[in-house]
Structure 1
Amino acid sequence: MSAFMDKDFLLDTDVAQRLYHDVAATLPIIDYHSHLIPREIAGRRRFANLAELWLGGDHYKWRLMRSCGITEDFITGDRPVRQKFDAFCRILPLAIGNPIFHWSHLELRRLFGIDLPINARNADAIWEQANARLAHMDTWSFLEQARVDIACTTDDPADDLAEHRAIGASALKTRVIPAYRPDSAMAINAPGFPAYLEKLGSRIGVPIASFAALIDALIDRIDTFDAAGARISDHAIDVPLADVIPATDVAERLFAKRMRGEALSPAEIGEYHSVMLDRLGRAYAERNWAMCLHIGALRDVNTRMVGRIGQATGYDSIADHSYAKGLAALLDSMERDDQLPKTMLFCLNPAMNEVLGAMIGNFQTGPVKGKIQYGPAWWFNDHKEGNLEQFVTLANLGALGTSVGMVTDSRSFASYPRHEYYRRLLCRQLGRWVQDGEYPDDSEALDTIVRGICHQNARDYFGF
């Protein structure tokens, strides 16, 4: 029996242990999708205590605490931070098998050198020891200690990127790059959509009164982001896309309908999104960007609690729509004109793993290795079985060795040990294939695969 999360945690073969300790563990991190706040990096934010670092804004932990019977005043409410921390420590032992249990212990060890199990008995010692270390740490400390080579934030087209310019001129070793996230331009039914158009128009100095003007404004900002080093866009696809890409005049009609104050139906939103993604995708291809599509979230479903404490507070779920036909139509529309950008497909519904695994093979073209990527296990799938299943699905239907690897997809500066968790699982899977006689014990070939997935493929794919 292995000791709790020892040095060979998750590594159950000799090959896995060698691949992790000698290869994977030594590689710096390229985190090409995160929700870190550039202002907090530029300002070298410090955290007053471990509760602020761990529980502030972390809806993963909030959902777990709710599941364990913790009332909201100890989660997002006004209880003292020490009481919130104690509540988290008290319930974490109940989370056996949950990735948050493993992530939290890895964070405690890697960031603070604390090996204690997280529970009510150890809460005092953990609080005191971690806070003593935190007093000498800031956001730069977390990035540099984790050996983050490149970190991409998610930035709205209307952002002025001033914080990115400040970071770029600083002595921070990590290269922090904006990623283009035009969700507000896609959220046509949102109450704030007209106000957002005013904000974006103000940024470029041109009023936005039509769909064509909106696309022009977004492409103008793509060029600004490109000059700032951006190489990635990101889009949330929460409704099925149209089975056939509509003409631009359809999008103009839908835009005008919304500006008259009328709401669009889900099918009309899908049409609007399809036209927008088709137009923007071609712009990304011209600039050799990668387009990331995050598919299948069902957001803010608990309307009472969302109304009480706000959006993005842990009340999202997995949608079970069929996205395949509309996604194929979008990719094919751009491919017909040889204007399909490098594209990454993420889906929140694990029932669509094989759908995406098969879809990427339809649009692969050289010379880019893995031009269409089946993205790593995302959000509700980012756990041990979800990551292992992602490896197996990509191996079954594509080429695992072309994967660009893991992302944190996190707002927390403490979350980088998730890359360690992913790398251990990758080495575990490779080791099992070797142990079962399904792949030769070829150190050179295996090392190349691990280096690629954990670091080099992302650097090559995104052109960092």
Structure 2
Amino acid sequence: MRSDSQKSVFSDNFLLDNKAAEQLYFGFAEKIPIIDYHNHLEPDVIFNNQNFRSPTAIWLDGDHYKWRAMRNFGIEEHFISGAASDGEKFQKWAFVVPYTLRNPLFHWTHLELKNPFGIQHYLNSNNAENIYNQMQESLQTEAFRPQSIIKNFKVTTLCTTDDPADDLGYHKALKTSAFETQVLPAFRPDLYINIINPTEYLKSIKKLENVSGTSIQSTSDLLNALQNRINYFDEVGAKISDHGFEYFPDTTLWNSDLEKEYSEFLKGNKTAFSNPDALCGYLLKELCKMYAEKNWVQQFHIGATRNNNSLMLKNIGINAGYDAIGEQYFAQRMSLMLDELNSENKLAKSIIYNLNPVYNEVLASLAGNFNEAGVQSKVQLGAAWWFLDQLDGMEKHLNAISNIGLLSTFVGMLTDSRSLLSFSRHDYFRRLLCNMLGSEMERGLLPNDEQWVGKIIQDICYNNTKNYFEF
């Protein structure tokens, strides 16, 4: 441990503002492994284990956080998602980085340069070429192949996010390979229960028909096909489902007239379906019962308004950095569904990810209504998500859990990222957590008992996750 007199993001004691925080971090948090139970990594990239072509490929391609910052600074799209060379894109990003001051990207960027690249210089346009070349040289070595990067971060288990129609071939191949990290699929059926674009929805249904061997002409057929895929995912090792909603659907609206209309829609006799909300709510509740039977954990990501820029949606596609925090109120709808499932003894362990900080306390209090003997925090508020995944957002999130629930049973951090370099966010979270609890120890708000508080930190960062998901 080095207590730097001049602190920076590169310092050993970055974010650790007191002696107790340093002792907690270096004694309990720093070296324990990582379980990353929700991300968007690609299993084929992990299995194929090929060197990345350039720093831009591993660092900038598809990173909508960085893309948003570059657009905010007025960079031309040609250098963001366009046809500019890897070197040109990197140079533009380096030019913007000094101006990301106080945005979480400033810390994330330099934490990722420090680990795994060992670079401890603030990136800017003057040193961009040297840093690019240093990264490029590293990326050509064995130590910077995907599996080596994952091993470097001490990741024992990671869960990808997968279409129910996926054959999971790479997951099965990884399972029988020499790679020690457990790479498990997660079931994400949004395309099949939420009608946004009728034409695209019907294409998805056809894909599901083909892979499940089921003719889908009713909700019953659709649920049978999804059950088929849940069984398959379970066989491959899945333990988690995931759903993303702009708002939580109404689970009380479904009726026989809508069932008949939906069947006609599936048969091509209607060009649209009149009540997608009712359909989504009905299917969601039935899927949740299936998850409970498998003893899976179900995840709900709620509160984003997606693809707000229709012109750029047309030009680039989804997940390109044009999403925002939503303002839909959904707690009552969610509470009703959880209560119905609980009353039928079919409520799976559930994690609720909230994108609007206004609802942190609302959802933390909602989660506490559905506990069960023998299960710690069966329903809980998940990690600070997306726009809230920064120092202020994480602190508010941890305070909401602490004030209304039990921080000691929280299942901790995840990356929710498409980048192998984002595992550094676990360290970011751990430093913040140790500083928060260490500060309160020194102020007398918590016991001055390093072993006691340190054990709780290890639980939050690893043990709770392992036990909750039964990895």
TM over 0.5: yes
Asked if the contact 1:212–1:252 (Cα under 8 Å) also holds between the matched residues in 2, the reply is no
Alignment check: 8 A CA contact 1:239 1:269 kept? no
Residue of 432, 439, 444 corresponding to 1:432: 439
Further displaced range: 431-440 or 369-378: 431-440
Structure 1 25/83 Cα, relative in aligned 2: closer, same or farther at 3 Å? same
Residue in 2 that maps onto 1:199 = 207
Q: Is the 8 A contact 2:28 2:455 kept in 1?
A: no
Q: Give the equivalent residue in structure 1 for 2:424.
A: 417
What does 1:101-250 correspond to in 2, within 5 Å?
101-136=106-141, 137-190=144-197, 191-242=199-250, 245-247=252-254, 249=256
Query: What whole-Å deviation, never above 9, does each CA across 1:259-307 have from its counterpart, x for those lacking one?
Result: 3444346xx3332222112111111111111000000110101011111
Cα distance in 2 between the residues matched to 1:151 and 1:91: 32
Q: Does 1:386 align with 2:393?
A: yes
Does residue 60 (structure 1) correspond to residue 65 (structure 2)? The answer is yes
Residue aligned with 1:414, SS = helix
Structure 1 residues 228 and 105, CA, compared in 2 at 3 Å: closer, same or farther? Answer: same
CA shift at 1:388, angstroms?
0.7
Tell me the secondary structure at the aligned position of residue 185 of structure 2. strand
Structure-2 change in CA distance of 1:15 and 1:257 (3 Å): farther
Q: Deviations over 1:179-227 (max 9, x none)?
A: 1111111232323111111111111211111111111111111111111
Tell me what 2:7 maps to. 3
Query: 1:177 offset after TM fit, Å?
Result: 0.4
Instruction: Determine helix, strand or coil for the equivalent of 1:106.
Output: helix
Matched-pair contact (CA < 8 Å) for 1:232–1:291? yes
Alpha-carbon shift at residue 140 of structure 1 (Å): 0.8
2:74 is matched with which residue? 69
Query: Tell me, which stretches of 5 or more residues in structure 1 are unaligned?
Result: none
- The SS at the match of 2:215 is coil
Aligned match of 1:275: 282
Whole-angstrom CA distance in 2 between matches of 1:422 and 1:234:
23
Paired residues of 1:254 and 1:272 also in contact (CA < 8 A):
no
Shift of 1:254: 5.5
Per-residue deviation, 1:436: 2.4
Matching of residues 281-292 of structure 1 within 5 Å: 281-292=288-299
Task: Indicate if the aligned counterparts of 1:237 and 1:293 stay in contact, CA closer than 8 A.
Answer: yes
Partner of 2:370: 363
Rounded Cα–Cα distance in structure 1 between residues aligned with 2:261 and 2:383: 34
Is the contact made by 2:7 and 2:13 (CA closer than 8 Å) also made in structure 1? no
Q: CA deviation at 1:240?
A: 3.4
- Could you tell me how far 1:257 is from its partner in structure 2? 5.8
Task: Describe the shift of the 1:250–1:342 C-alpha distance in structure 2 as closer, same or farther (beyond 3 A).
Answer: farther
Contact 2:368–2:377 under 8 Å retained in 1 = no
User: 1:19, CA displacement in angstroms?
Assistant: 1.0
Unmatched runs of 5 consecutive residues or more in structure 2: none
Task: State the TM-score, normalized to the length of structure 2.
Answer: 0.95
**Is 2:267 the partner of 1:263?**
no
Equivalent positions of 1:333-348 (< 5 A) are 333-348=340-355
Length, aligned pairs only: 461
Q: Which residue of 2 aligns with 1:311?
A: 318
Retained in 2: the 8 A contact 1:75–1:84? Answer: yes
Deviations 1:137-185 (A, max 9, x none): 2111111111110010011111111111111111112110001111111
SS, match of residue 367 in structure 1: coil
CA pair 251-100 structure 1, distance change in 2 beyond 3 A? farther
TM-score of the superposition, structure 1-length normalised?
Answer: 0.97
In structure 2, which of residues 41, 47, 57 is the aligned counterpart of residue 42 of structure 1? 47
Task: Give the Cα separation in 1 of the matches to 2:258 and 2:155.
Answer: 41
Aligned AA (1:263): A
Q: How far apart are 1:256 and its partner, in Å?
A: 3.0
Question: 1:380: Cα distance to partner?
Answer: 0.6
Q: Structure 2 vs 1, CA of residues 114 and 36 (structure 1 numbering), >3 Å: closer, same or farther?
A: same
Rounded to whole Å, the distance in 1 between the matches of 2:111 and 2:149 is 14
Matched to 1:444, the amino acid is Q
Q: Percent same amino acid at aligned positions? A: 39
* CA distance in structure 1 between the aligned counterparts of 2:161 and 2:88, rounded to whole angstroms: 32
Letter in 2 for 1:150: T
CA–CA distance in structure 2, aligned partners of residues 245 and 436 of structure 1 = 50
Q: Give secondary structure in 1 for the equivalent of 2:361.
A: helix
Q: Distance in 1 between matches of 2:449 and 2:261?
A: 57
* C-alpha deviation, 1:245, in angstroms: 2.5
Task: Name the CA shift for 1:146/1:387 in 2 (closer, same or farther; >3 Å).
Answer: same
| SS in structure 1 at match of 2:58 | helix
Deviations 1:320-378 (A, max 9, x none): 01111111111011011111100000011111111111110111122111111110000
Q: State the Cα distance separating 1:431 from its structure 2 match.
A: 1.3
Q: Structure 2 CA distance, aligned partners of 1:198 and 1:129? A: 47
